[in-house]
Structure 1
Amino acid sequence: MNMDQVKGKWSQLTGKVREEWGELTEDEVMEARGEREQLVGKIQEKYGKSREEAEQEFDRFVAGL
């Protein structure tokens, strides 16, 4: 799934995102609206990961959709 598809299906994917990153609130997930950079930043902040780690984690998640 590419990022355009992710953005288009964001409301359906929020549950999967919350399953993957349970520390993110529903509001934080909805606020990202499928924008890679916003969600990566939230993952980085909540989980104390480096930018690179958060990007790799998000990219693996999207690739698995």
Structure 2
Amino acid sequence: MDWNRVEGNWKQFNGLIKEQWGKLTDDDLDQIGDKRDQLEGKIQENSRLEKDRAKRDIEDWYSKQDDW
């Protein structure tokens, strides 16, 4: 996965991320910035998932983002 696309378009991805993980707030996303490991941590924390599961969920979500 090429996370550079997310980093370069973080503001545009915020809406898509919030659609997928509705418990994340604008403040969460501002705090995360474009850091994937921090996004994994917030998803893990909010959804009570194991770290590997949060990582897989992000990879699955990202692979479906064809418009970018």
Please tell me the TM-score bracket, short chain as reference.
Answer: over 0.9
SS of the residue 2:17 aligns to:
helix
1:4 aligned residue = 4
Runs of 4+ in structure 1 deviating by more than 6 angstroms, as ranges, are none
One-letter amino acid of the structure 2 residue matched with residue 10 of structure 1? W
**How far 1:29 moved relative to its partner?**
1.4
Q: What is the percentage of aligned positions where both structures have the same residue?
A: 32
> Does the CA contact (< 8 Å) of 1:41 and 1:51 recur in 2?
yes
> Does the CA contact (< 8 Å) of 1:40 and 1:54 recur in 2?
yes
Q: What is the distance in 2 between the residues matched to 1:45 and 1:26?
A: 16
2:42 aligned residue = 42
Q: What is the distance in 1 between the residues matched to 2:49 and 2:32?
A: 18
Q: What is the distance in 2 between the residues matched to 1:14 and 1:56?
A: 19
TM-score by length of structure 1 reads 0.92
Q: What is the distance in 2 between the residues matched to 1:12 and 1:30?
A: 13
Count of residue pairs the alignment pairs up: 65
TM-score by length of structure 2 reads 0.89
Structure 1 unaligned runs (5+)? none
Between structures 1 and 2, the one with greater helix share: 1
